[in-house]
Amino acid sequence: TQIQQVFLVILCASVSCQWWKRYSGAAAGCLGLLCVLLLAGIIGLFLYQKNQLTSSNTLTEERDQLQTCGNNLTEERDQLQTSNNTPNEERDQLQTSDNTLTKERNQLQTRYNTLTKERDQLQTRYNTLTKERDQLQTRYNTLTKERDQLQKETERLKQSLVEKVCPDGWKKIGSSCYYVSTEYKSWEGSRQDCRNRGAHLVVINSQEKQTLVNRLCGVKNYVWIGLTDSVSEGTWKWVDGTPLTTKYWNSGEPNGGRAENCVYFYSRSSDTGEWWDYYCYYKYRWICEK
Fold for 170-289, please state it: Mannose-Binding Protein A; Chain A (3.10.100)
Distance CA 217, CA 32 (A): 191
Residue 289: helix, strand or coil by DSSP? strand
pLDDT reading at 175 higher than 80: yes
Residue 175: helix, strand or coil by DSSP? coil
Rg (CA), the chain: 72
pLDDT tens digit sequence for 50-88:
777 777 788 888 888 888 888 888 888 888 888 777 767
- 255 close to 193: Cβ distance less than 8 angstroms: no
pLDDT reading at 165 higher than 80: no
pLDDT reading at 276 higher than 90: yes
pLDDT of residue 10: 54
Of residues 46, 282, 251, 119, the one with CA closest to residue 186: 282
- 248 close to 214: Cβ distance less than 8 angstroms: no
pLDDT of residue 119: 95
pTM greater than 0.85 (yes/no): no
pLDDT band of 177, cuts 50, 70, 90? very high
pLDDT reading at 227 higher than 90: yes
Residue 57: helix, strand or coil by DSSP? helix
pLDDT tens digit sequence for 10-36:
555 555 545 445 556 666 667 777 777
pLDDT tens digit sequence for 133-154:
999 999 899 898 899 888 878 7
Distance CA 223, CA 184 (A): 9
- Percentage of the chain lying above the pLDDT 90 cut: 53
Distance of CA 282 to the CA centre of its chain: 74
